[in-house]
Amino acid sequence: MRIFLICLFRLAISVFVGLWGIYVLAQEVESASSKNLRVMTWNIWHGGREDGEDVGPQRVVEVIRDSQADIVALQETYGSGEWIAEQLGFHFHPRGTNVSILSRFPIVEDLSVHQEFKNVGAIVELPSGRRIACYSIWLPYGKEIWEPGTRDNQDLPGLLTACQPSADDLDSMLTQIVERLSDSSYAKIPLIIAGDFNAMSHLDYSEIGFDQYGVVVDWQTTKVLLDQGFRDSYREMNPTPDRMRDRTWTPRFPEQEQDRIDYIFYQGDLLALNSRTIDTHPVQFPSDHAAVLTTFTMRESAERSVDDFAFEGKLVSYNIRHGRGMDNEVDLTRIAEVIRKSSPDFVALQEVDDGVRRSGTVNQTRELSRLLGMHPAFGKFMNHDGGRYGMAILSKHPLIRIESVVLPQGGEPRIALAVEVLLPNNERLTVVNVHFDWLKNDKDRFAQAEKLGTYLKELKTPYLLVGDFNDRPGSRTLDLFSQGTVEAFKPRDQRATFPADAPTVEIDFIFGGPNNRWSFSETEVIDEQVASDHRPVRTTFQLKKAD
């Protein structure tokens, strides 16, 4: 009897420990899923079987397991998906042979639209009860431009044509997704669209990436989602473009064009915490695409407005004279430190070099972006001293579009650099940076101002106009921009911005338009006497709610 009781007691303890382990594990999963959600997209290359029918898919399983992904958007599933899901203990939601969704959590509804080879969608229910709408997509291309010798950077129309099918398909697909989710029951469900887009990002191939890509291309595919308020989770978390770090095509063929063509876009009450590419395995990575992994957290709603404002932030305008200070030393780190102290949302920089010998052939915009962790945009005035000379904008918030507005030429070629950004409350704002002609006769300067004035009137977003106007209060250039805008007025005894060591003239200004959307507070000229020949201007702005 005693032995029986001991055995029974031991069995009870064993059962209790096992059940407790299951409970703890369940609590860990519940806790993790209620706070963080890891989403992966990955084209696994012919079902992952390129390295063998068995060993390849097993390596796919190992990469996914090591990533701790909760939801995986797969492309080129090709018969391996169900087995991969079984090994992971995941739910499997296929459609056709190509795209599929793997999920740690239950898939409760099919949302698929468009062609079965290119689109599969589902509602995933988290342990917390929250639901996520997820799509795994694959987009086509018109011509191979990744293999060696297949890309002609001089043929911009040809490059755009090669990737246009992906833009056309995505546009059609998005229309159908919006229609599929139009019922009010889906209104508060976050949406993720992830997959192999077979197209590059227009933001990666802007002027900021010219030294890496050798060409500026206004790719259309990524605009389809960004224009509709989606966020590119990888670029949002990795604001400084780096072609080799960012690339998803192709870790297996380094001789080919290395590009970022796989994305996780999202919309709704999600907040991206980090995002990275995955392209390693202890033996051999099993795919020709790198995977992208983004960790999200759930939030109750978009960031709240501040009192009567849609958004409140800070802006700095700074003519940095290619980083050359009053001591004749070129030092970007001290420029970055001046900016960092203001914790700005936006920075408008004038006189910026890219690969110019006089400043050490550095891409100054990218370097400042790296130092400050901000999204960069660069616009070229002209080629100069072995590189390019122009202006830049840095943004704490994701960029949607970058545009160089060509202005009439004066003593030098001139542009205005405009970036459209997506604010935390999902409203859009355009920041416009200027550096007008410096000649005493204002004929060319005013012509540039008039051209820019026409551009500003056509904007569909509120805007901040900021920069080195090379003109003074009371001039016809400043009077032109004072119409219909609000100026960030500096204190009466601290208006001068140039020269930095003993400023005597005010030529750097900030305006907000239209005037019914803006107010400014705490505007000041920063007492920085060495880092550049201009002193920076800082302001706190309030974007009022639209009427």
Q: In what order do the strands lie in the sheet with 131-138?
A: 107-110, 119-125, 131-138, 191-196, 262-267, 231-232
CA–CA distance, 266 with 134 (Å, rounded to integer): 9
pLDDT at 299: 79
In this prediction, residue 242 has a pLDDT band, given cuts at 50, 70 and 90, of very high
Query: Residue 363, Cα to own-chain centre: how many angstroms?
Result: 19
Return the SS3 of 368: helix
**Residue 295 pLDDT exceeds 50:** yes
Positive or negative: CA dihedral 362, 367, 369, 372: negative
Q: Is the pTM of this model over 0.75?
A: yes
Q: What is the mean pLDDT of residues 397-405?
A: 97
Share of the chain above pLDDT 90, in %: 90
Q: Which residues of 121-143 are buried (b: 16+ CB within 10 A; e: fewer)?
A: bbbbbbbeebbbbbbbbbbbbee
CA–CA distance, 170 with 23 (Å, rounded to integer): 43
- 83 — phi, psi (to 5°)? -65, -40
**Residue 28 pLDDT exceeds 50:** no
Residue with tokens 């550096």: 435
Is it true that the peptide bond before 514 is cis, omega within 30 degrees of 0?
Answer: yes
pLDDT at 32: 43
pLDDT at 4: 43
Give the residue among 307, 313, 355 at the shortest CA–CA distance from 208.
355
Give the residue among 119, 177, 167 at the shortest CA–CA distance from 141.
167
In this prediction, residue 19 has a pLDDT band, given cuts at 50, 70 and 90, of very low
pLDDT at 377: 98
**Residue 189 pLDDT exceeds 70:** yes
Q: Environment class of residue 184 by beta-carbon count within 10 Å: exposed (0-12), middle (13-18) or buried (19+)?
A: exposed
**If residue 201 lies in a helix (H) or strand (E), which one and from where to where?**
none
pLDDT at 532: 98
In this prediction, residue 309 has a pLDDT band, given cuts at 50, 70 and 90, of confident
Q: Secondary structure of the chain: what % helix, strand, coil (to 5)?
A: 30, 30, 40
**If residue 179 lies in a helix (H) or strand (E), which one and from where to where?**
helix 156-180
Q: What's the token pair of residue 546?
A: 């639209």
pLDDT at 306: 52
Q: Which domains does the chain have, with CATH numbers?
A: 33-298 (3.60.10.10), 309-544 (3.60.10.10)
- Higher per-residue confidence, 365 vs 26: 365
**If residue 357 lies in a helix (H) or strand (E), which one and from where to where?**
none
pLDDT at 16: 39
CA–CA distance, 531 with 80 (Å, rounded to integer): 59
The pLDDT mean for the chain works out to: 93
Contacts of 500 (CB under 8 A, 6+ apart): 326, 528, 529, 530, 531, 532, 533, 534, 535
- Higher per-residue confidence, 26 vs 414: 414
Q: What is the mean pLDDT of residues 210-228?
A: 97
**Residue 110 pLDDT exceeds 80:** yes
Residue with tokens 């052939």: 361
Q: What is the mean pLDDT of residues 35-45?
A: 96
Share of the chain above pLDDT 70, in %: 92
pLDDT at 421: 98
CA–CA distance, 228 with 244 (Å, rounded to integer): 28
